Amino acid sequence: MPLTVEDYTWTQTETTVYISIPLKGVKTSKVDVLCTDEYLKVSFAPFLFEAFLFQPIDDDKSVARIGNGAAVFTLPKKEGVLWERLCRSVEKDKQRESREEAILKTQKKHAEKSQAKATKAQLEKKFTLETMMKLEEDERKSIQRMKDEECAKATAELEVWKEKQRKTEEEEEEIRRRTRGLTMHNSKHIHQRQQPDETYTLRPVQQPCRTRGEMSTRAQARCVEPAGPRESGCIKINFTPRVFPTALRESRMHEEEEWLMKQAEARRAANADLAQLEDLKEEERNPDWLKNKGDTFFRLGNYQAAVNAYDLAIRLNRAIPALFSNRAACHLKMRNLHKAVEDSSRALELLTPAVADNAAARVKAHVRRGTAFCELELFVEGLQDYQAALRIDPHNQALQADASKICEIVQGTAPSS
């Protein structure tokens, strides 16, 4: 049977009642409060405080502050009058009915809050979906507009080219016609000179006047010859060597070369997997495009859509650590803590060898896995991840503060909340 708390204190004004209840050394995490407009119960085993209030209060505006060894309640009155006493006398049967009624009211209020929260989440999800659909529609319109502009530009260029071709053909036909007329004229003079038994006086044959353009065209026709084959040769290429500023005994050249080889293998794997997904659009076969899409969904709060985008990108290429790390962040938001640990661990496996280029990514993966461990109340494992992140970024004050809090929880000097 619980022990009734008798050493509480209370004061009042015309509008508000203040109640202070000592917690008697009990942790704040173990205090349970039930409050309605006519009933207040504070339970912290093995102690119990119960009050059937003298007049109704506004429980929606009531405030409870629990800490420093006491629970202090601020209860606004519905009627602005001074009470004669804090509790009213109630028979045992009525007390049972009042308790049951208070429980039902509390359950109903929680159900209404849950329903309101679900409705709000549904509306936010609908708004996010409509926003994404609008963005995609604008993007499609922009792409279609660019296509139409490029098509119109190409059509205009084609018409200009056809007009130039037509003019060139007309000029060439005019040159051929004039050349043919000149040849027939010369042949006629030669035939007259070869007629037998005819007396005539030799005179120089006057060539018809040619324009400068015709003379230039005929000269080009005589001088142009087909070009011969090109000579073979070799082009010498000198590659600039990579220079590492550190001494050879301190160099991490082998680790960096291994990291670059892994990135190249990841790109080759992406190109190899594209052939297996023929039904996807061209941009949907690009892991980088899918990653950006998932990042956009994450910023808008649509974590499930972000997970779907990262899933497809990982299916295309399982060697990109950022995909697993970002999906771990989504699982953290959705409270899928074991999946967050799994994805963070996979990201850390891919972020090897440890070089300066992937230091920031390793810090994020350690913090996300450490956060998931702490949410699972595995504080020792979470502290190890935070300490690993601090070894990479020792000057990060936020990481130092979080690691100190987790250390206090592990040592039992701070509450787990």
pLDDT per residue as tens digits for the range 322-369: 999 999 999 999 999 999 999 999 999 999 888 888 999 999 999 999
- Residue 112: per-residue pLDDT: 83
pLDDT 10s digits, 19-65 = 888 887 778 788 888 888 888 888 887 788 888 888 888 888 888 88
Query: Topology of domain 3-89, per CATH?
Result: Immunoglobulin-like (2.60.40)
Mean pLDDT computed over 180-185: 66
Residue 123 has pLDDT above 60, yes or no: yes
Give the class (CATH, top level) of 252-411.
mainly alpha
What pLDDT, on the 0 to 100 scale, is given for residue 271? 59
Neighbouring C-alpha atoms within 13 Å toward the C-beta of 378: 14
Question: What's the pTM value of the predicted model, to 2 decimals?
Answer: 0.37
Please report, rounded to a whole number, the percentage of residues in the chain having pLDDT higher than 90: 26
Highest mean pLDDT out of 110-124, 216-230, 254-268, 385-399: 385-399
pLDDT of residue 221: 45
